[in-house]
């Protein structure tokens, strides 16, 4: 990967062209269609959080991040690849990094060519490279898009990395489909090669295949705090939005519901016939191998549901476990009265937990699980301000 594929003059022209567009953008003018859509969109988002005059990315306590790295499933999965990554970094004069789902760098390794450059801009363990913290960059953009990206020179929002080219790819858990981290390789712009992105993609996939498999919690698992995921007898199944709603109502009422009560919980005052509800439940029963009883309607197998589990933690005042489990509101688009009520209650309770939390490490761990969360970022800012006062 050390050989530059593009001619130096081509790279210089590309660097000049994108620098002109960046200068136009930060001056308040429009940019040409030559700027890639994802880069232009990221610049606009970055401008709402940052001014383009910083000298380095923000950073977190390195000791805390090292402990998190040692406990991370990413550390286990990356162990077999780390020697290869280091060797590639040396040969290609790169800095390599593995970031968590919040864009915080958990592990880095820099070649001699990049070590001081990386340190100067905080591209090291603990550095925050999510988009709101560092502007347009490969780690933050790959995290947001959940896909591989290359960010070249002035495509970065912040000038302190305009001399860089960065290649990043998400590490996707093959079982859950969740993005558990980002792999990044970066170097100076003159060393740009299309092989950089290919190398990152291959290594990210290799790390993903080594991620530990999740042990089933029950015969039926219902994950709806975030991207819905239903696991039945160890296999992921796809359900319609209506089937997800029915399943959640069944989980909320393990003692069972009779038809009229079920109809009210699911449809409210909507003009939907009882026959339609019976048909919907029948279809779901077939998918679940007949494990839904009637009179009353209830699940007849062991199940686990994240929105039920989190409520147990909250009642026990176990804030740590609750925040680790909460990723996003429950079935955000659902208009089922029962689900809307549960969602509103959970969201309000979680916001209170975040507002009163004084443990920065716990808040960071929550962001590690849930990704970007404005309320958490605001609370972390408040805690940092109190420490400085």
Distance CA 225, CA 222 (A): 9
DSSP state of 226: S
Q: Is the pLDDT of residue 106 over 60?
A: yes
Mean per-residue pLDDT, 333-339: 94
The position carrying tokens 């560092």 is: 134
Q: 8-209 is classed in which CATH architecture?
A: 2-Layer Sandwich (3.30)
Q: Is the pLDDT of residue 368 over 60?
A: no
pLDDT in tens, 3-22: 444 556 788 999 999 999 99
Q: Is the pLDDT of residue 118 over 90?
A: yes
- pLDDT > 70 fraction of the chain, expressed in percent and rounded: 91
Q: Is the pLDDT of residue 116 over 90?
A: yes
> Quick one: pLDDT at residue 3?
44
The pair of structure tokens assigned to 122 is 């905080």
> Quick one: pLDDT at residue 5?
47
Q: Share the mean pLDDT of the chain.
A: 89
pLDDT in tens, 190-219: 999 989 999 999 999 999 999 988 777 899
Question: So where are the chain's domains?
Answer: 8-209, 220-356
> Quick one: pLDDT at residue 389?
53
> Quick one: pLDDT at residue 95?
97
Q: Regarding the domain delimited by 220-356, which CATH topology (the fold level of the hierarchy) does it fall under?
A: Arc Repressor Mutant, subunit A (1.10.10)
Task: Characterize the bridge pairing of strands 229-232 and 220-223.
Answer: antiparallel
DSSP string computed for 11-70: HHHHHHHHHHHHHHHHTT----TTS-HHHHHHHHHHHHH--TT-SS--B--HHHHHHHHH
> Quick one: pLDDT at residue 2?
45
Stronger pLDDT, 46 or 369, i.e. the higher one: 46
Assess contact for 179 and 101: CB atoms under 8 A: yes
């Amino acid at each position: 990967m050390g050989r530059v594929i593009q001619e130096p003059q081509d790279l210089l022209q590309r660097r000049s062209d994108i620098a002109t567009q960046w200068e136009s953008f930060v001056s308040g003018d429009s940019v040409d269609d030559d700027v890639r859509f994802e880069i232009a969109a990221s610049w606009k988002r970055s401008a709402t959080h940052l001014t383009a005059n910083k000298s380095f990315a923000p950073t977190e306590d390195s000791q805390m991040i090292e402990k998190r790295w040692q406990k991370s499933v990413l550390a286990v999965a990356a162990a077999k690849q780390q020697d290869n990554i280091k060797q590639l970094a040396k040969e290609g004069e790169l800095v390599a990094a593995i970031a968590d789902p919040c864009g915080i760098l958990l592990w880095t390794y820099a070649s001699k060519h990049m070590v001081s450059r990386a340190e100067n801009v905080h591209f090291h363990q603990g550095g925050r490279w999510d988009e709101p913290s560092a502007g347009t960059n490969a780690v933050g953009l790959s995290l947001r898009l959940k896909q591989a990206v290359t960010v070249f020179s002035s495509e970065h929002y912040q000038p302190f990395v305009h001399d860089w080219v960065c290649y990043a790819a998400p590490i996707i858990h093959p079982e859950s489909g969740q993005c558990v981290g980002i792999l990044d390789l970066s170097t100076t712009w003159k060393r740009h090669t299309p092989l950089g992105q290919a190398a990152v993609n291959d290594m990210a996939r290799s790390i993903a295949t080594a991620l530990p498999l999740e042990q089933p919690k029950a015969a039926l698992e219902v994950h709806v705090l975030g991207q819905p995921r239903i696991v039945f007898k160890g296999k992921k199944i796809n359900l319609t939005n209506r089937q997800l709603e029915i399943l959640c109502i069944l989980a909320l009422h393990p003692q069972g519901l009779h038809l009229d009560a079920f109809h009210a919980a699911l449809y409210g005052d909507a003009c939907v016939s009882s026959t339609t509800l019976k048909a919907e439940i029948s279809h779901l029963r077939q998918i679940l191998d007949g494990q839904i009883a009637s009179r009353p309607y209830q699940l007849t197998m062991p199940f686990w549901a994240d929105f039920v589990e989190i409520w147990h933690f909250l009642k026990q005042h176990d804030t740590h476990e609750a925040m680790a489990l909460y990723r996003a509101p429950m079935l955000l688009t659902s208009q089922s009265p029962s689900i809307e009520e549960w969602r509103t209650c959970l969201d309000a309770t979680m916001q209170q937990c975040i507002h009163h939390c004084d443990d920065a490490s716990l808040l960071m761990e929550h962001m590690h699980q849930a990704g970007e969360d404005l309320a958490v970022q605001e609370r972390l800012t408040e805690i940092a301000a109190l420490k400085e006062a």
